[in-house]
Amino acid sequence: MPEIKIDLFSDTMTKPTLEMRRFMCDAEVGDEQKGEDPTVNLLQEMVAELLGKEAALYLPSGTMCNQISIKIHCRPGDEILLDRTAHPLNSEAGGPAALAGAMVQPLQGKRGIFSAEQVKQSIRPITRYQPRTRLVSVEQTSNMGGGTVWPLQTVREVCEVAHRNHLLTHMDGARLLNAVVATQVPAKDFATDFDSAWIDFSKGLGAPVGAALAGSKEFISEAWQWKQRLGGAMRQAGIIAAAGVYALRHHVERLVVDHENARFLAHGLAEFRGTTLDPREVETNIVIFDISKTGRTSQEILERLLAQGLRMSIVSSSRLRAVTHLDISRKDVEVALLIVKKVLTD
Ligand SMILES: *Cc1c(COP(=O)(O)O)cnc(C)c1O
């Protein structure tokens, strides 16, 4: 395979910066399982504060944040409402079924965002026959929706309907801070109505690993037991948690750069014959575009891009996804556009 020079596959492709590595190197550490790692404790406090929750728990991945939350919120046979593009439904190896024994009712949102009315229509009546609708999960921003931001008003309405009907609410905030930077709405305000919420450090924030789940003290103490049970409890995890601390201090505001680069990319792509997208729909760092007018499949286009050193990811046979991040400069985007243009005109 030719060398990948520009990697728009995902914002998970970021490598820790030299400054981040230095900060990790100097981290104070202890036994995390015993609550004795000062850096893990600091990171948990920072996230609890950021999300306005009583407590937070450092976990190896966002997937574990979702799965532990679902496990705590749902009994076997319970049903979860989420968008049909949502991560736990498509990218967590069947976790809701395998671990929690939960059913999933996928909602057909608009670019990953569903309405309170849809939630209301989807909550099942309480009868002996039907599963108990138990949890609503919201993905902020919506990844496969194209980095779309859930408006605060929609979040409030969805959570209000859920709680009124005795459902619990969960926010998959893998890219919550992208939404925060794009809207200037504080993270706390987005998180306040959710019973559980988490952020990922290994996406646009640029840390090599880790996520943190937040909620009430009671919820987090249950989450701790699941972390232990699943083998997610670590030892001197401060070494990696330090990357999260560094990222929260230095890599949040700069997400605007990724958003500007994504918009620049989208405007460029929209000019080409063969691509279909509306650049006004690009709100954060994700650009999804259609290539069916090229007469080729996304796989065929991707292979041609790869041959030129540009990587993206496949959303469907007719759509590709490009994600901007810490390791992508404006210059990289300019080169990426030249490569796409070449591939489309060849
Ligand atoms: C990446 C991602 C996850 C999972 O996070 P990991 O840290 O990769 O396990 C969950 N939800 C969304 C929306 C994501 O983009």
pLDDT in tens, 274-306: 999 999 999 999 999 999 999 999 999 999 999
Structural contact between residues 310 and 8, judged by C-beta atoms closer than 8 angstroms: yes
Contacts 24+ apart (CB under 8 A), 10-14: 10/203, 10/313, 10/323, 10/325, 11/175, 11/203, 11/204, 11/258, 11/285, 11/323, 11/324, 11/325, 11/326, 12/202, 12/203, 13/325, 13/327, 14/202, 14/204, 14/206, 14/325, 14/326, 14/327
- Rounded to an integer, the average pLDDT of 179-207 is 98
Structural contact between residues 323 and 11, judged by C-beta atoms closer than 8 angstroms: yes
How far apart CA 109 and CA 69 sit, in angstroms, is 22
How far apart CA 212 and CA 130 sit, in angstroms, is 34
Q: What is the pLDDT of residue 198?
A: 98
Statement: residue 127 has pLDDT above 80:
yes
Q: How do residues 8-28 score in pLDDT, each as one tens digit? A: 999 999 999 999 999 999 999
Question: Checking DSSP bridges between strand 286-290 and strand 319-323, what pairing results, if any?
Answer: antiparallel
Cα(338) to centroid(ligand 1), Å: 30
Could you tell me the pLDDT band of residue 332, with boundaries at 50, 70 and 90?
very high
Q: Is 321 in the pocket of ligand 1 (CB under 6 A)?
A: no
CATH 3.90.1150.10 boundaries in the chain: 254-345
Placement of tokens 């939630």 in the chain: 119
Cα 70 to the center of its chain, rounded Å: 16
Statement: residue 194 has pLDDT above 80:
yes
Tokens describing residue 161: 């309907």
Q: Is 63 in the pocket of ligand 1 (CB under 6 A)?
A: yes
Say which DSSP state 78 is in: -
The contacts of residue 273 (CB under 8 Å, 6+ apart) are 293, 344
- Cα dihedral 171, 174, 176, 177, rounded to 10, equals 150
Q: How do residues 220-267 score in pLDDT, each as one tens digit? A: 999 999 999 999 999 999 999 999 999 999 999 999 999 999 999 999
CATH 3.40.640.10 boundaries in the chain: 18-250
Cα(32) to centroid(ligand 1), Å: 23
Q: What is the pLDDT of residue 180?
A: 98
Cα(130) to centroid(ligand 1), Å: 30
Task: Share the mean pLDDT of the chain.
Answer: 97
Ligand 1 site-directed mutation target among 13, 143, 149, most atoms within 8 Å of CB: 143
Cα(172) to centroid(ligand 1), Å: 8
Cα 324 to the center of its chain, rounded Å: 14
How far apart CA 62 and CA 64 sit, in angstroms, is 5
The protein residue whose alpha carbon is closest to atom 8 in ligand 1 is 62
Could you tell me the pLDDT band of residue 2, with boundaries at 50, 70 and 90?
confident
- Rounded to an integer, the average pLDDT of 171-190 is 98
Nearest to 191 by CA among 56, 90, 286, 85: 56
Please name every residue paired with 287 in a beta bridge, in sequence order, or none if there are none: 322
The protein residue whose alpha carbon is closest to atom 14 in ligand 1 is 174
The contacts of residue 87 (CB under 8 Å, 6+ apart) are 62, 63, 66, 139, 143, 172, 174
Q: Is 92 in the pocket of ligand 1 (CB under 6 A)?
A: no
Could you tell me the pLDDT band of residue 346, with boundaries at 50, 70 and 90?
confident
Q: What is the pLDDT of residue 154?
A: 98
Q: Is 215 in the pocket of ligand 1 (CB under 6 A)?
A: no
Cα(129) to centroid(ligand 1), Å: 34
Nearest to 73 by CA among 231, 196, 224: 196
Name the fold adopted by 18-250. Aspartate Aminotransferase; domain 2 (3.40.640)
The runs of H, that is alpha helices, within 52-151 are 62-73, 87-90, 95, 116-122
How far apart CA 32 and CA 271 sit, in angstroms, is 52
Q: Where are the beta strands (DSSP E) in the chain?
A: 6-7, 55-59, 79-83, 103-107, 133-139, 168-173, 196-200, 211-215, 286-290, 310-311, 313-316, 319-323
Q: How do residues 70-93 score in pLDDT, each as one tens digit? A: 999 999 999 999 999 999 999 999
Kindly give the number of the ligand 1 atom that is closest to the alpha carbon of 203: 1
Ligand 1 site-directed mutation target among 10, 14, 66, 87, most atoms within 8 Å of CB: 87
Is omega for the bond preceding 183 within 30 degrees of 0, making it cis? no
Statement: residue 166 has pLDDT above 90:
yes
The contacts of residue 164 (CB under 8 Å, 6+ apart) are none
Tokens describing residue 227: 């972390």
- 254-345 CATH, one of 3.40.30.20, 3.40.50.300, 3.50.50.60, 3.90.1150.10: 3.90.1150.10
Q: What is the pLDDT of residue 286?
A: 98
Statement: residue 179 has pLDDT above 90:
yes
